[in-house]
Chain A
Amino acid sequence: MSRKVLALFVACMLLPIWPVFAEKPRDGITYIFDLYLDNGNNRVIAPAVSLSKKLSDTFYLGTKVGVDAITSATKVSQPASPAAGGEDDSEGGNISLRVPVSLSLTYDRDDDTLTAGGYYSYERTYTGRSLFAAYTRRMNLNNTALGIGFSKSFDNWIPDHPLSTDRRSERSMDLTATQLLSPKMSVQFTYSALRSDGFLAQPTDQLVTPAFTAYAQYPDTRRGNAYAVRLVTLLNDPTSLHVNYRDYRDDWHIRSDTVNLELYRDISSSVVLGGRYRYYRQSKAYFAKDLALYTPGDPLIAVDYRMYAFQSNTVGVMAILKPSRSFLRRFDADKVKLKLSADVFTTSRHENIQYQYHTDRLTGMFTTIALEYDL
């Protein structure tokens, strides 16, 4: 097996450890254009550039810089009667900018890879700061890879009204075990421990009734655990199947199941097409109840539909294109890939979605265009 194939395989095993930042130790640049739209009048346009630069035989520098143009990420609520259809908010009217930047350093030698880095983002109502680190060890002739990752954030709200605390902190630990089962099948197990504290609700979520008005308030700590398994198998030479399942549960009594199926097929030597289906369902938080049942004395109030039981379905299509040599005369065609995806999701009907977004269910679309170029 060539060194390049081995490197690619190793990268495949490493990628799930840091799919966002230190995606794989390589010399390369990726231009990304993300778009999100939904019928709640939310829009995100997010161009970004991701660069991974080889500094020496063992060290790589990674950085990702982007700009997210967001409408409705922060809602401005105005009192209204629920009987009249919920909040009369002005979401969608203003554009706010979020500028996320990350920087990481990767040490990669023989069977060991260590990445550490930091993240900073700023938007009008929120400042995000995080540190993260991940270590992966490959063994058994690259049949097995074990990984561990940590992250810790030190975020702050910049609210327009007093909060119990302006701080929000999140910690996570991920343990990953990847194993090849056959020349055509691999499996990966992941366990994530998630801990949050600080102000965990949305400062702008407001319950407005004829009797009283109150801002959303959640418990100030949250402990969650996620268990996931991923299986990738080659059904036949041009076709692969991906099956993912995740079980999540936390001490707010939210429990969820996520199933994701993806099918990829080589159409030609330069085109791979895919399709996906994802199903998600969750139970409600213990403090979530019918909006009409809240009283001014309730210490915890949930307005956001995400604290209630609902389901969602997602379907999508994907394409990976490798331009031909004749098409890219001035570039090495082997170094260029264009990856495209478009997904549509829809939630089940829920009265809180009606209250927040003036529609009985949320339906949205997100697309990604990524142009990868190896330096």
Chain B
Amino acid sequence: MNRTVLCLGLLCLIALTGCAEKLIMVQPYEMEHFAQDKMRFTPLDARAAFEEHIYSIREASAGGSSGFQGGCGCR
């Protein structure tokens, strides 16, 4: 866990300092593809929420999607 937090902290530091310019890999006029549904991380928002709930009931794992799930007696 500490290693991951450290890596993410370093990434934040890079992004917030002068090295950040190297992270500009796409110019604003090249971003048209990312406006399409099929290029979103969750193209079907409602399904993403529902299936995360289903899998939290049917499996013992959670997390990794950064989606919030409220409490439920099914789990």
Contact = CB atoms under 8 A, between A and B. Distances in A.
Q: Are A and B interaction partners?
A: yes
Contacts of B40: 12, 15, 232
Contacts of B24: 140-141, 143
A221 interface: no
Nearest to B69: A20
A213 to B, nearest CB: 22
Interface stretch (A79-87, A125-133, A328-336): A125-133
A77 interface: no
A274 to B, nearest CB: 7
Contact of A1 (B31, B43, B55): B31
Nearest to A5: B35
Contacts of A155: 71
A132 B45 contact: no
Contacts of B26: 141, 143, 180, 182-183
Given A130-B68, A191-B4, A341-B47, A144 B15 contact: yes
B2 to A, nearest CB: 10
A264 B63 contact: no
Interface in A188-229: 188-194, 224-228
A179 B67 CA distance: 18
A143 B23 CA distance: 7
B43 A368 contact: no
Interface residues of B, number: 59
B31 A6 contact: yes
Nearest to A255: B61
Contact of A20 (B1, B43, B58, B68): B68
Contacts of B67: 16, 18-20
Nearest to B34: A9
Interface string B36-67: 11111111111111111011001111111111
A76 interface: no
A184 B38 CA distance: 11
A142 interface: yes
Residue from the set B1, B25, B73 with the largest chain A CB neighbour count within 10 Å: B73
Contacts of A303: none
A246 interface: yes
Contact of A225 (B30, B32, B52, B63): B63
A282 B47 contact: no
A144 B50 contact: no
B13 to A, nearest CB: 11
B50 A140 contact: no
B70 A232 contact: no
- Specify which of B1, B4, B20, B63 lies most central, judged by the most chain A CB atoms within 10 Å of its CB: B63
A313 interface: no
B61 A121 contact: no
A364 B59 CA distance: 13
A123 B73 CA distance: 8
15 contacts: A4-B35, A32-B46, A34-B46, A73-B73, A130-B71, A139-B20, A143-B24, A177-B11, A183-B31, A225-B4, A228-B64, A280-B59, A312-B58, A339-B43, A366-B50
By Cβ-Cβ distance, the 4 closest A-B pairs, closest first, are: A128-B71, A126-B73, A192-B63, A226-B63
